[in-house]
Amino acid sequence: MFSSVLIANRGEIACRVIRTAKRIGLRTIAVYSAADAGAPHVHLADEAHLIGPPAAVESYLRADKIIEVALASQAAAIHPGYGFLSENAEFAEACAQAGIIFIGPPASAIRAMGLKDAAKALVEKAGVPVVPGYHGARQEPDFLRQKAYETGYPVLIKAIAGGGGKGMRRVDRQQDFDAALASAQREATSAFGDPRVLIEKYISSPRHIEMQVFADAHGHALHLFERDCSLQRRHQKVIEEAPAPGMTPEVRRAMGDAAVEAARAAGYVGAGTVEFIADGRGALRPDGFYFMEMNTRLQVEHPVTEAITGLDLVEWQLRVAGGEALALDQEDLLVDGHAVEARLYAEDPERSFLPSTGRLVALKLPSGEGVRVDSGVAEGGEVTPFYDPMIAKIIAHGGSRDQALERLSAALASTIVAGPKCNVAFLKALVDAEEFREGAVDTGFIERNLETLGATPQPADPQAIAAGAAQLLRMDYEKANPSLLVRGRLGSHEWLYDPWGSRKGFELAGRRHTVVPVETETGKTNIDLFFDDDGPHLLAPGQREETWPDAEWNASLRLAELGDGSGVVVRGSGKVFVICKGRQTSVALVDPLDVDLEHLDGDAGGQVKSPMHGKLVALLVGKGDEVAKGQLLAVVEAMKMEHALTAPMAGVVSEVLAREGEQVSEGARLMTVTPEQE
């Protein structure tokens, strides 16, 4: 075994690799970009080195810089994690040329499986079934459109390089093919530097089942059972579990044998995942699955395999890379219980899952029996627009599927994220969904159930607004002039407050009333504030009963547990964040004298703004162009995902304020569409 390892990655996978490497006695070396200077993986490693600016192409994707650091720090090996350089054959070769062990398969295996078209051809020769479609070299749009027609709609356009759903588009009609192809190629070029695609038949009600495989340099290969990854959004996995619901010994044997044969055909060494698609309209069958692709690296969802096997897959990677043989044979491996993983992301399900950036004002991740959390961020850290917005992976293991799901549901219920929006409420709704509990899901389940899962625009939560306003007013009282304070009650607590203050609605006699304007994500609204002999009372929009939401502050977390147990309030800078049932509402007091200068010049309905921090990768119109309502105007890319901006109305582009290729901030006005005069 070698003595040191450099981790050429960031976030939770870097922390994950560092912990195992340290446990088995290796010296660990981290690399980081300027944006990650304070990241947990930097402090966890024995040493860390700056490799460049925030953008991945100038830091984590700089193979030359990473090898330079590895040589300078005398690292014996490099672990690439997943993403970035993990499936880059040239990087694997560069490591070998520098005398550094690459912890992954040989470059030949990466090339064999790295391009989906070549991989399908290779495994088909080995007798592994593949999805019908076109996997050849020709890339002319007219030719690909014809092949899609011959395959039969619906079809999938898929980038031949990379994974994670990037560069992938479903097309249901011939007339939509050209636009979908251009979008897939643009995204594939951005994510992988390769615009080439393949066409394959879209299987209705598909289930996504993958096999974890391992091979050593001594000719041994085996599988570590399957994972079901059918709960997906935009072809990206959301929840994964092992074993797959409804899996029989016969199907597992057939799928496992096919996966091992695929690995052998590629001359594979190390950890890999062979991904299959199965028809989910009925029971799984030994002849009812097809090869999709092979990921020549460790997968994000590997913890569920570790949970049901009791193995450390990173340790296996390190030992195999060090020349050791696999310690177990296929018959030695057994399934222990069930495990489920949920990916906690900084994104807003109510706004089409747009990535959400900003400082993590509060972060409380779950713990407990059967619960594991892999994370690469910390409270006070920043979620930036430069990388994948994952906050954590939450994994639950139990003796049965029901027990694992109950533990995951409870873990999600106790998770607190304040600052960026997150998908915790959406994840809990998924885990609790009756169809998922019954195992009756396919890859289209989320899209069919967005509304019931809370992933559509929701009205403001009046309870959250009232709770936030109460805490802001309490904080306001704490700043009052001590000489003017009188004794009163705020909820169940006795407090000193200023009856003459501007927000106290002072009157010489009778019940006092004032209106307190507040602002949330959904806009401005008013809270009615009453004072009587019992103290203050609030009446939030849509509420019939006056309340004063009570809370106890926890200074260590800067949050307050609401008295009725319904949620928490977190103090921010000039605002509070209220989390009720996983859903976050930001509340700030509004100065009624403030004027919104941006809207003084008339109707702002024609303004086209960036929904997030990102890069303007496509600007499709210019000043003076006529546009139709819903027409595609521009494309913003953030965290490796594209987001289309369309015309809010028919009219003329009266101004363009951004340039293609530049970084834009959330809310930045990119252009204005002026309606045509009647």
Catalytic entry in 196, 227, 297, 571: 297
Is 27 tagged catalytic?
Answer: no
DSSP string for residues in 104-169:
S--HHHHHHHHSHHHHHHHHHHTT--B-SEE-SS---HHHHHHHHHHH-SSEEEEESS--TTTTEE
The single-letter DSSP state of residue 675 is P
At residue 316, the 3 state secondary structure works out as helix
In terms of C-beta density within 10 A (0-12 exposed, 13-18 middle, 19 or more buried), how is residue 384 classed? middle
Hey, what long-range contacts does 376-382 have (CB within 8 A, 24 or more apart)?
A: 376/10, 376/11, 376/12, 376/13, 376/14, 376/15, 376/39, 376/40, 376/41, 377/11, 377/12, 377/39, 377/40, 378/40, 381/38, 381/39, 381/40, 382/35, 382/357, 382/358
Hey, what long-range contacts does 219-224 have (CB within 8 A, 24 or more apart)?
A: 220/325, 220/326, 220/329, 221/260, 221/263, 221/264, 221/268, 222/260, 222/326, 222/328, 222/329, 222/330, 222/333, 223/256, 223/259, 223/260, 223/330, 224/305, 224/309, 224/311, 224/313, 224/333
Q: How far apart are CA 84 and CA 141, in angstroms?
A: 29
Bond before 206 cis per omega within 30 degrees: no
Can you say whether the dihedral through the CA atoms of 504, 508, 510, 515 is positive or negative? Answer: negative
Pinpoint the alpha helices (H) of 165-284. 177-192, 249-265
In terms of C-beta density within 10 A (0-12 exposed, 13-18 middle, 19 or more buried), how is residue 434 classed? exposed
DSSP string for residues in 464-491:
HHHHHHHHHHHHHHHTS-GGG-EEEEET
Q: How far apart are CA 622 and CA 654, in angstroms?
A: 9
Residue 555: both structure tokens together:
């200074």
Catalytic residues: 297
